[in-house]
Amino acid sequence: MKVETKCIHEGYKPQNGAPLALPIYQSTTYTYDSTEHIGKLFDLQADGHMYSRISNPTVAYVEEKIAALEGGVAAVCMTSGQTASFLSLFNILGVGDSFLCSSRIYGGTINLFSVTMKRMGIECIYFDDDMSDAEIEALIKSNTKAIFAESLANPALSVLDIRRIADLAHKHGMPLIVDNTFPTPILCRPLEHGADIVIHSTTKYMDGHAVQVGGVVVDGGSFDWAKNGYTCLSEPDESYHGVIYTESFGKAAYATKLRTQLIRDLGTYPPASAAFLLDLGLQSLAVRMEKHSSNALAAAKFLKQHDMIESVSYPGLEGDKYYDLAKKYLPNGSSGVVSLTIKGGKTNAVKFMDALKLAKNVVHVATVHTCVLHPASETHRQLTDEQLLAAGINPGMIRLSVGIENIDDIIEDLKNGLAQCE
Ligand SMILES: *Cc1c(COP(=O)(O)O)cnc(C)c1O
């Protein structure tokens, strides 16, 4: 099956007489004929659902679909993208460990990595994508156990050279974890370029309609944990009568540990109803990503030639700093987010935002609706203009998340908004 077909037919496969739509299994628990069978479930020696804090059939179908879309061996859904970022690392790191992370990542992830995980005794060491291999390697310590980065960064809109960073990680015996939220597996599949683990905030394009917060971790099944000394996966887990994940679960060792140990203990599994909504979003993901990408490119081209625009960033736009990497990693489109800087700084940016009629002013991106966000007066409003510039945010910069409306209507709205600034 091609990826568009997988969006609809992977996961739940109804048999003769079964409902066509994915059923919502609204049940906390599952019945078995014998205590012996349940005992085997507890020892991870039999397949089956036991309790909906660990797995649920509706969620499991969606996990199967997402694993198939990314080309992984297994996926584990959870309650948010933040949880996915955290657990993807915490599954293999503990107190006293460190990991490398690209500095071009989502603001919420920076808080999690720099503040909360630091309190847990896990150190995040940032690198810049523009550094040479040698400069990045110089940051690696003896306790460094993973590299984390975003394939298409939010909000920087830089494109990660996945192959280069994956090679670098593997040279040092560690996995590369890629946050693939913005491209989705429709536009980029990091596992095909050497990444080992992929995570998503499904809240964004996968859901696509701004209805449900969620996250997922996908296990690529390619990393050799035992050989590289990840003893948490290759030595007995006492909480399961000494199971050894790499021996009992082979390629799905990482995903199995994540579910049966961390999801079990931390209680971050999503409800069946949330998975149902996510599945609806996934069914139309391929057509939406195509439309988001073509609309965003058209909007970026329109903005680029406009007198009131100081600069536009969109990796699919010829002349963009990341155009060549986008051609390699995002050949079918660069997703729907464009960043633009209006001449006249904050004053004009606010005038423009307030004049827009179609585009919604929200703290969100990646939905069917076109929406805008002005960091200087919203998410980063506590900073002075000097502080904003130091943080790499121009006071006139606006993040435009291009929806799937008719592009003529979107451009008309942008044109009217810009007319208020002159
Ligand atoms: C939104 C976002 C997250 C966090 O996801 P939530 O679902 O909001 O917890 C992580 N990474 C990226 C790239 C995001 O855009």
- Provide mean pLDDT across the span 178-183: 98
* d(CA 150, ligand 1 centre) in Å: 11
Distance spanning both ends of the chain, measured CA to CA: 51
The ligand 1 site (C-beta within 6 Å) comprises 80-82, 85, 106, 108-109, 150, 154, 179, 181, 201, 203-204, 213, 215
Q: Report the phi/psi class of residue 45: left, alpha or beta, with left for phi > 0 and alpha for psi in -120 to 50.
A: alpha
Residue 363 banded pLDDT, cuts 50, 70, 90: confident
DSSP secondary structure letter of residue 237: B
Q: Which atom of ligand 1 is nearest to the CA of 215?
A: 7
- Provide mean pLDDT across the span 237-265: 95
Separation of alpha carbons 164 and 299, rounded Å: 31
Q: Give SS3 for 397.
A: strand
Q: Which atom of ligand 1 is nearest to the CA of 213?
A: 7
Residue 389 banded pLDDT, cuts 50, 70, 90: confident
Residue 273 banded pLDDT, cuts 50, 70, 90: very high
pTM assigned to the model? 0.96
Which of 113, 201, 268, 339 has most ligand 1 atoms within 8 Å of CB, for mutation?
201
| pLDDT value of residue 5 | 98
Q: At residue 291, does pLDDT exceed 80? A: yes
Sign of CA dihedral 164, 168, 169, 171: positive
Q: Give SS3 for 374.
A: coil
Q: At residue 75, does pLDDT exceed 70? A: yes
| pLDDT value of residue 30 | 96
Separation of alpha carbons 366 and 406, rounded Å: 16
Helix 407-419 and helix 285-304: axis angle, to 10°? 30
| pLDDT value of residue 42 | 85
**Token pair in block for residue 47:** 């397949």
* d(CA 28, ligand 1 centre) in Å: 27
**Cβ neighbours of residue 354 under 8 Å, at least 6 residues apart?**
361, 420
Q: At residue 59, does pLDDT exceed 80? A: yes
The partner residues of 189 in beta bridges, in order of sequence, read: none
Q: Which atom of ligand 1 is nearest to the CA of 214?
A: 7
Residue 388 has a CB neighbour count (10 Å cut-off) of: 20
85 close to 124: Cβ distance less than 8 angstroms: no
* d(CA 82, ligand 1 centre) in Å: 6
Separation of alpha carbons 408 and 113, rounded Å: 41
What are the start-end ranges of the E strands in 17-164? Answer: 74-78, 98-102, 123-127, 144-150
Residue 313 banded pLDDT, cuts 50, 70, 90: very high
Which of 77, 79, 82, 102 has most ligand 1 atoms within 8 Å of CB, for mutation?
82
| pLDDT value of residue 392 | 67
| pLDDT value of residue 383 | 73
Residue 72 has a CB neighbour count (10 Å cut-off) of: 28
| pLDDT value of residue 382 | 75
Nearest in space to 218 (alpha carbons), one of 22, 65, 8, 102: 65
| pLDDT value of residue 385 | 79
In the block, residue with structure tokens 């993040």: 399
| pLDDT value of residue 351 | 93
Q: Give SS3 for 244.
A: coil
* d(CA 31, ligand 1 centre) in Å: 36
Nearest in space to 83 (alpha carbons), one of 230, 263, 207: 263
What is each CA distance from 79 to 31, 84, 110, 253, 273, in whole angstroms? 25, 8, 19, 21, 12
| pLDDT value of residue 295 | 98
* d(CA 81, ligand 1 centre) in Å: 5
Separation of alpha carbons 113 and 97, rounded Å: 13
Q: At residue 216, does pLDDT exceed 70? A: yes
Residue 42 main-chain phi, psi, to 5 deg:
-65, -30
* d(CA 105, ligand 1 centre) in Å: 10
What is each CA distance from 181 to 123, 263, 387, in whole angstroms? 24, 21, 28
130 close to 159: Cβ distance less than 8 angstroms: no
| pLDDT value of residue 68 | 98
In the block, residue with structure tokens 């993807």: 88
Q: At residue 390, does pLDDT exceed 70? A: no
Model pLDDT for residues 113-165, shown as the tens digit of each residue: 999 999 999 999 999 999 999 999 999 999 999 999 999 998 889 999 999 99
Among 305-314, 317-326, 368-377, 411-420, the range scoring the smallest mean pLDDT is 368-377
Q: Report the phi/psi class of residue 275: left, alpha or beta, with left for phi > 0 and alpha for psi in -120 to 50.
A: alpha
Q: Which atom of ligand 1 is nearest to the CA of 109?
A: 10
Residue 386 has a CB neighbour count (10 Å cut-off) of: 9
Closest residue (by CA) to atom 1 of ligand 1? 201
Q: At residue 230, does pLDDT exceed 90? A: yes
Separation of alpha carbons 1 and 69, rounded Å: 10
Separation of alpha carbons 180 and 196, rounded Å: 12
| pLDDT value of residue 129 | 92
Closest residue (by CA) to atom 6 of ligand 1? 81
